[in-house]
Amino acid sequence: MQTQRTRMTRDNTAVLLIDHQVGLMTGVRDMTVSDLKHNVVGLAKAAKVLGLPIVAVTTARDSMWGPTASELKEALGGGEIMDRSTVNAWDYPPFVEAVKATKRDHLIIAGLSFEVCASLPAISAREEGYQPIIAIDACGTFSTAKREAGIARLTTLGIEISDYATLMVEIMGDNADPKALDVYAALDMPFAVLMGQVAGALSR
């Protein structure tokens, strides 16, 4: 079942972080690992500032792909990160139950690798009536060809792709929001924080 697209808000959106594991990160080739960590950590921190629920999961962390990157684990503040064996996280019932428990039908998804760990749950979630959107720069994959193929597939299926900062700022909605500077700081956009501080000083 597909639903008509509606805007993301703090009340209807959850963030799903899938398989940002150290072993998988060693294979990332479409961006630097430092950029990937920066972006997914920024996404997690900004989501926390905005009060968005986060559901995090790994795959085969004890046998194949290792733990969640320490920077992301720290940003999540010790929240539960479940583990599974299925390729598609949506095929793991406890993960789906955790998503349903958020009572949000808009899902911002980031996963490693992009074309599998982010895209497959997005496709499955949309089949169940959710509105998924992928934060592609908080994903990463193993070649440019895989990135392009994944984008082509999602485009054909009509699933949205954006970047982590745009999605968080869209949900924030207003630069006059009391949390605006905290959101920009979480996104690690120092120029925005600096300009906000300058504007605040000038208004005094």
Residues with catalytic function:
117
In the block, tokens 């070649």 appear at: 143
Two tokens, residue 22: 């150290």
**Token pair belonging to 70:** 């320490």
Rounded CA separation 204/187 (Å)? 26
Give the CA dihedral 31, 21, 149, 96, nearest 10 degrees: -140
Order across the sheet with 106-111: list the strands: 81-84, 54-59, 13-18, 106-111, 131-135, 160-162
- Tell me the chain's radius of gyration from C-alpha atoms: 17
Name 169's bridge partners.
none
Rounded CA gap, 43 and 53, in Å?
Answer: 12
Q: Please give the C-alpha separations between residue 50 and each of 30, 82, 142, in angstroms, as whole numbers.
A: 29, 23, 31
Task: Write down the number of H helices and E strands in the chain.
Answer: 9, 6
